[in-house]
Structure 1
Amino acid sequence: MVINPAALDAAAPRSTAGHELMDQGFTILRGAAPTSLVARVIEDLAPRSAATPFCEGGFYGERTKRFGRLLIRSPHMADLVMNSAILDLAELALGNWCDRIQLNLAQAIELHPGALAQFPHRDQDMWQGSLGEVEYLVNVMWPLTRFTEENGATILWPRSHGAEALVEEPKEAPIIAEAEPGDAIVFLGSTLHGAGENRSDGVRRGIIISYCLGWLKPYENQWLAYPPEIARDFAPELAALAGYAQHRPNLGNFEGQCPSVLFGGYPEEPLAAIDALRPDQSALLADYVAAQRPVGEGERGDGALAA
C-alpha cells in the first residue's frame, strides 16, 4: 500500500483511535470486525491448530502454540489483514518512514492452561535501527476467544513507546487488554508488552497481524509463505502488501521489475529493468538527464526553448 502523503500531514485530523495509538502506544478498536467473520476464521484454522505442536523455548512459551501463513489457511483472513480502519492506523504510525507499508506477520497464537507470562518485550528489537524516533511496526492482536486477566490477555505498558523505549523502567503501570472476539488490540512496535499467564482451564486463542516499514526484512518471509503461484490469486492490494510490489526506489525487484511479473510464470525471455522511482526522484532524474542531452535544433545553449 503506497502511503498518501496528505494523510500524514501533522495538521491533518486524526481519529480518536489514532490519537490514542500515537499518545499512549496502543488503542483498542471495539467491534472492528464482525463476530461472524471471526467464527469462520476459527473454523478454518481448527485443523492446523490441532496438528501444531507446542513451541520450544522460554520466549515463545512451552505451553503455547504458534503457526503462520494464515492467508492460505483461511480465505477470510484477507478481510482481517485488509481492514481499512487498521490500515489507516498503520499508515498513520509508519507512513513518515517509508514509501509503502508491508505485511510483517500473520500468526495464530494459543495460550494453553499453565502458560507462563511472556517476557515483556518490544517487537522493534527485531531490527537494530535507530530507536526513539522511527516506528518500525504496528501490531494488531485479534482475539478469537475472550481475552481476560485470568486466561492471559495481552499486557501493555502505556506510554512506553517512542523515546520512552530508551528508558529502562516504564513510568506507568501495565494494563490488561481485556477484549472480545471482533475487537482489535493495536499497539506500536516500540510499546512494551507481553502475553499474560493463563491461569484458567481454557485455551486463549488469538491472531497477531502486523505491518512494518516496506524496506525492512519482515518477521515472516512473505515470498516463501506465499510464493507466486499462491499470491497471484490474491487481490492486487493484498498481493502488494504481501511483498509483490517494489518499495521505491527499486527495492524488492525481480530482474529490475515488480515481482508481480512472476504471476504469469517465470519469464522465458530476459526482462528489461524498469525504473521504479518516487516522484521527487523522477523529477530530479529528468532534470539531470535533460541537462546532459545535446542542445537540439531550435534550443538555446542555456536549455531554454528558443523564442
Structure 2
Amino acid sequence: MQDGYTIMRSAVPAGLITQIADDLDPRYSETPYCKGGFYGARTKRFGRLLIRSPHMTDLVMHPDILALAETALGPWCDRIQLNLTQAIELHPGALAQLPHRDQDMWQGAIGEVEYLLNVMWPLTAFTEANGATVIWPRSHGVEALVEEPAEAPIVAEAEPGDAIIFLGSTLHGAGANRSVGVRRGIIISYCLGWLKPYENQWLAYPPEIAKDFPPELAALAGYAQHRPNLGNFEGQCPSVLFGGYPSEPIAAVDALRPDQDALLADYVAAQRRDDDGVLAA
C-alpha cells in the first residue's frame, strides 16, 4: 500500500454486514458511553466480536485481507495474529478523534518495521457528516518520523460491504459526527505474532470457547506458537488446552523455524562427531 491505506469496495456482500449489524444491535444498545477523550465521550465501544456474531469469522478470515496482512507484516514475523475486533458507534455530537498512529501503543522502532494492519468495516454508511475515518495519505513508514504530514487528509467515505484498510503507521482518526444519526462500524486488526495484542485474546476467547473455532481462526486468535517457542503452554502449543488442562505433566516440544532446526541439527551432529572421536581414541 504505497499510500498507507486503501479502500476495498464491495469486499463482502452487504447482506453479510446486515446480519452482523443485527447480531450486534442489542450489545450496542446496552453498552455505555466511553470515558476519556481518546475513546470519546459520545462513543460506544465493545470487543470480543467473535462470540457476538457467528458471521464475524467471515470478516476476520477474509482471504484477500489476510493475504494483504501477510504481505504487509510478514517480513517482520513468523506468523501474524489477531490484534483486535471492536465495534464502534459514534453518536451525534461526537468530537473528532485525536489523530494518531496505532503502532505507537508498542513504542517500537519507527519507520523501520510495520507492526499492524487495520481494517474498518462500516455497518452504516460512512460519510463526512457522520464522522467517517479521516486518513492522512502517505503518512506511513518513515513519514511517521515527520511532525507534520506532507499531504492533506482524506475522508474515507464508504458503504456497508466496503473495507477501509490502513497500516498501523498511517496517521488517522475518527471524524466528528455532525449528523443526526449514529455511525456504526467494526475495526479488525492484525499484528506481528510476537507482539502483545491490543485485546487479550486468551481472555476474550478462553480455551473452552476457542476450541470450537476453525483451526485457522484459533491459531490467529493466539492458539499457536510463534517460533521459536513463543506463547507456549508448558512447552507446547496452547491449543493443547482444547482437550482440557493436562492432568499429568507433559513434555516440552521444540517449535523452531526451519533455519533454527538446521542450525541445531548441525550443532548436534558436530557434538556427536566429537564424542565419537573421543570414544575411538
Compute the TM-score of the two structures, normalised by the length of structure 2.
0.97
Partner of 1:157 in structure 2?
136
Q: Distance in 2 between matches of 1:294 and 1:80?
A: 53
Amino acid at match of 1:121: H
1:31 maps to: 10
* Rounded Cα–Cα distance in structure 2 between residues aligned with 1:236 and 1:34: 25
What secondary structure sits across from 2:189 in the alignment? strand
State the AA in 1 paired with 2:123.
L
Q: Corresponding residue for 1:96?
A: 75
The whole-number CA distance in structure 1 between the counterparts of 2:113 and 2:20 is: 33
Do residues 166 (structure 1) and 137 (structure 2) align?
Answer: no
Q: CA separation in 1, counterparts of 2:57 and 2:231?
A: 22
Q: Counterparts in 2 of 1:154-233, with a 5 A limit?
A: 154-233=133-212
Matches within 5 A, 1:1-307: 21=1, 23-294=2-273
Give the letter for the 2:160 counterpart: P
Q: Indicate the RMSD between aligned Cα atoms, in angstroms.
A: 1.0
CA offsets, 1:129-173, max 9 Å, x none? 111010000000000000000000000000000000000000000
> Partner amino acid for 2:257?
R
Listed as ranges, the gaps of 5+ residues in structure 2 are none
CA distance in 2, matches of 1:48, 1:233: 22
* 2:15 partner SS: helix
Name the SS for the 2:41 alignment partner. Answer: coil
Quote how far apart the aligned CAs of 1:294 are.
Answer: 4.9
Deviation for aligned residue 1:295:
6.4
Secondary structure of the residue aligned to 1:94 is helix
2:73 counterpart SS class:
helix
Instruction: Give secondary structure in 1 for the equivalent of 2:32.
Output: coil
Residues of 2 paired with 1:37 and 1:253: CA distance?
Answer: 35
Mapped to 1, the partners of 2:229 and 2:214 lie a distance apart of: 22
User: Structure 1, unaligned stretches of length 5 or more?
Assistant: 1-20, 302-307
- Equivalent pairs, count: 277
d(CA) in 1 for partners of 2:103 and 2:216? Answer: 25
Using the TM superposition, give the Cα deviation of residue 296 of structure 1 relative to its aligned residue in structure 2, in angstroms: 8.7
User: Which residue of 2 is the match for residue 13 of structure 1?
Assistant: none
DSSP 3-state at the match of 1:24: coil
- Using the TM superposition, give the Cα deviation of residue 36 of structure 1 relative to its aligned residue in structure 2, in angstroms: 1.0
The aligned amino acid for 2:77 is C
CA distance in 1, matches of 2:180, 2:268: 69
Following the alignment from structure 2 to structure 1, what is the Cα–Cα distance between the partners of residues 132 and 107? Answer: 28
Letter in 2 for 1:65: K
- Quote the offset at 1:47 in angstroms: 1.0
Shift of 1:182: 0.3
How much has 1:128 moved relative to structure 2? 1.2
Q: Any idea what SS the aligned residue of 1:293 has?
A: helix
Letter in 2 for 1:57: G
Deviations 1:8-37 (A, max 9, x none): xxxxxxxxxxxxx2x110000000011111
Q: Shift in Å at residue 125 of structure 1?
A: 0.4
